[in-house]
Chains A and B, each alone.
Chain A
Amino acid sequence: MKAEARPKIIGARVQRVEDPRLLAGRGAFIDDLNLPGTLHVAFCRSDHAHARIVDIESAEASRMPGVAAVITAVDIADKMQPIRATSRMADYYATELPVLARDKVRYVGEAVVAVVASSRYLAEDAVEQIAITYEPLGDAIDPVAAAKPGSPLLHEEAGSNVIVTRTFARGDVDAVMASAAVRVGDTFRMHRKTPTAMENRGYLAEYDQGRRALTLHSTTQVPGIVRDALVEMLDLPGNRLRVVAPDVGGGFGGKAALYPEEILVCIIARQLGRPVKWLSDRLEDLMSTNQAFDEIVEAELACDDEGRILGLRAEVIGDVGAYSVYPWTAAIEPVQVVSFLPGPYRVPSYRGRVRAIVTSKTPTGAYRGVGRPISTFVMERLIDMAAARLSLDPLQMRRRNMVRSEEFPYKSASGIVWDRAGFMECLDGVATAADYQSLRQQQAQARAAGRWVGIGLASYAELTGLGSRIAVAPGMPVNTGTESASLRIDSTGAVTASFGIASHGQGLETTLAQVIAEELGVRVEDVEVIHGDSAAVAHGTGTFASRSTVLAGGAAIMSARAVREKVLEAASHLLEVDVGDMDAADGRIFVKGTDRALTFRELARAVYSEMGRLPREVREGIELEATRMYDPYFGTSTPASHLAMVEIDPETYRVTVTRYVVAEDCGRVINPLIADGQVQGGVAQGIGAALMEEVVHDDGGQILTASLMDYVVPTAAEIPAMEIIHMETELPDNIGGFRGMGEGGTIGAPAAVANAIADALAPLGIMINELPATPERLFRLIEAMNTEQPE
């Protein structure tokens, strides 16, 4: 085979290697692992939002059939070091992260007592026998009220329920606002979401008493982070504490933090010397998995009379729930709202101030998009509001203000540096693909016929694949800016690549194999990708923040190139030709232009087993393996533009998304099937956020959305077909040319749908400033309008 004919593997629609096992029901998810003698945990969780624990009566539970232990905070206090999500950020209070509530509870659903029994059925029977006496301590439910002095304090030692305050500023925005030709503003509200992975969280710990070694099987996105934290908490060295993520049924950020339950199963397994499993049920998931997207944003945009943005200012309140989650802190989401608010636009003056308020609700953490679904919703609404005021087309308004290609690198108003990326290309791309002008004509015709049809655009840019220069969460002490790949050709010629990332639906077993196959010269099916195992590499964190393709992909290229050099060197000795005259492809190393070749198996045998085929000085140092660590330093900029078209039933107010188009720039696409799937899944969650999903608490902090009947995620019937275009702008400074793209769909969709609804309702003079825009909310807006303006 000639070098020119090498198959292009990167960019091909390769079918996923993880699929056959998942399709055949042969995956290994956490609850598929059955170890003999496993004990099962069920929790007695708080039914109070904020209360002192006066008494726990658990004697009856201890006597129930099958019960091995009943455990409270007191029982574990001396078996672990406590943990807090610290940060170098000023004006931040790091709350504790209790494993079981001690002294008081701070949200409904917080674990107070653990029952350990021979089955989950029996454990739940025993939980019913536990009686906890509480003394209510006053509510801190509404974040605005909770921020006021004198309201009940969730963490007394913090002195306030405001645990983060931060401001980003550029220029004198107040002066700019005062003199601007056009000012638009509103108070925007995004209501709380929960990630709702289809697989609930689950943890299984086994303690090897002989080796004094602990293995935690965890539905985690971040096995490396969990391992490193548990090493500190449990005082075990890293070589005797292993965290393994088996097949994981979706995460979306909800499985990207250290959880109390996973600490607890480790403690119990070590104490009892038996495997201990806790599997969240859906009720627990909806109460205890970290939630997100709960912000109130008061924002104002100033423009000149031609629609050029002059200034932006915002006050953000983030309702972060009861605790600061590890390692991201409670700041991760609300701070991102203000740092990303200026979007992909030139904003000369800016002030964004954020306050994160603890409330007696489930803690918030990372959820797909983190902050940017809110910042994009707000900014894109403001852009449309300004365009409407100026009678400018929303597309024109965006074109006028978006950072242009000659301006990169562009430092945003909040200090983010946008690297070269297809900002304008995506906007033009979506307009062309959707045939924007003809959509406007269709809309005009529909309106003339009395139909409520709207078109919404949303543009944004995100930082993905973050390197060591930028922290995922402000001031966090955990380095997530690097990722390693350890590539090895063993003595049988088989290729194994180990990573610190943890694929849980992203198809990284396939895309990373594609990268290695192309770089090394083997077939995709020849590469076994190991991930989700803290023992696989010296340091790894996991899969979150749209990073894995960029970081692990980069490390894969580096390690594959290093191994390829050794392969070719060994082959040059074996075939007695210059390295430059050889190439590798399809699992063979060959002399270019000839049929002389070696398979990887033959090569490995010659290197490792067949003594005498290589001289000693070559053999030493030619072990067919390499570990490389990649640091993209700043990370990559990923822009996109979304277009949504909706039709609203003018009587029931049901919103139907009739068209959805995305143009995004994820750089070089490794696998178009997978890239499309990532966008489609993200958009579906964004449509859910825009139209239906909302965690609801009552005034007493009780969670009302504790089932999938009540926390309403979209089904196939509510999600439209989607058209997706990948712009693939070049990325010279990045080794693979890949930009991260896992979260983007969820960032753009709420804004695009909100703008489309607002556009549909524009003839009525109705504004959309609150999501989800449920039929109930639209009904109230329309009723209010009818009351104000009687016919």
Chain B
Amino acid sequence: MIRVTVNGVTSEHEVEARLLLADFLRHSLGLTGTHVGCEQGVCGACTVLLNGDSVRACLCFAVQADGGEIETVESLGTVDDLHPLQKAFQEHHALQCGFCTPGMLMTGIDLLRKYPLATDAEIREGLSGNLCRCTGYEHLVQAIRSAVEARNES
């Protein structure tokens, strides 16, 4: 039995030890915003926040999250009321197919909390753990840069 707080809601679940956190979120809790792209720890699509830090949900078992707090893309904004980072993504056309997007957003949240991101090179380095095959990254960099500016002003 594990007890987790996901997007502010605490619940208890009987899970098999080998159940990946990504599968737990998607299939046990129905939070399908977290995507699975490789299960090899490379693509970053499954990135969520565990106790405030970005982690790969494909490289973590649900049992390891016992007692923890998890935030997924669903915790950010809603379709009608997007989070400022989500808005920045839309304004800069930083997504095309949208599959890598939840992982990019959750990585972006953690990067914005932890790093100055003073240059585009630093933003690119920070995003380099999340693969996107559609955008060529340029608009993603622009979206993050605008979020950095908003952060630095506030």
Which A residues lie at the B interface, using CB under 8 A?
15-16, 18-29, 31-32, 34, 121, 195-200, 247-250, 252, 281-283, 504-507, 673-674, 676-677, 679-685, 707-709, 713, 715-717, 719, 721-722, 745
Contact = CB atoms under 8 A, between A and B. Distances in A.
B77 A24 contact: yes
A505 B98 contact: yes
A717 B124 contact: yes
A707 B40 CA distance: 7
B91 to A, nearest CB: 7
Interface in B93-125: 93, 95-102, 105, 120-121, 123-125
Contacts of A721: 120, 138, 141
Contacts of B60: none
B127 interface: yes
Contact of A719 (B32, B79, B130, B136): B136
B139 A677 contact: yes
Contacts of A199: 35, 37, 97, 99
7 contacts: A199-B35, A249-B35, A252-B133, A684-B135, A707-B38, A715-B127, A716-B128
A30 to B, nearest CB: 11
Contacts of A507: 96
B36 interface: yes
A680 B91 CA distance: 16
B42 A247 contact: no
B12 to A, nearest CB: 21
Interface of B: 16, 18-19, 26-27, 30-40, 42-43, 45, 72-74, 76-80, 82, 86, 89-91, 93, 95-102, 105, 120-121, 123-125, 127-141
Contacts of B131: 198, 708, 713, 715
B95 A25 contact: no
Contact of B33 (A26, A196, A685): A26
A282 B40 contact: yes
A719 B90 contact: no
A16 B90 contact: yes
Contacts of A32: 26, 32
A140 B61 CA distance: 42
Contacts of A31: 26, 32, 36
Contact of B96 (A505, A722, A745): A505
A676 B136 CA distance: 10
A34 B30 CA distance: 9
A21 to B, nearest CB: 6
B97 A24 contact: no
A691 to B, nearest CB: 14
Given A27-B98, A708-B38, A717-B125, 4 more contacts: A20-B80, A26-B33, A198-B99, A685-B136
Nearest to A197: B133
Nearest to A368: B133
> Which of A21, A24, A680, A685 neighbours the largest number of chain B CB atoms within 10 Å of its CB?
A24
A749 to B, nearest CB: 10
Nearest to A15: B90
Contacts of B34: 25
Contacts of B136: 677, 679-685, 719, 722, 745
Rank and list the top 5 A-B pairs by shortest CB-CB distance, nearest first. Answer: A25-B33, A249-B99, A22-B98, A505-B97, A680-B136
Nearest to A723: B138
A282 B38 contact: yes
A25 B133 contact: no
Given A31-B26, A717-B128, A16 B133 contact: no
B93 A16 contact: yes
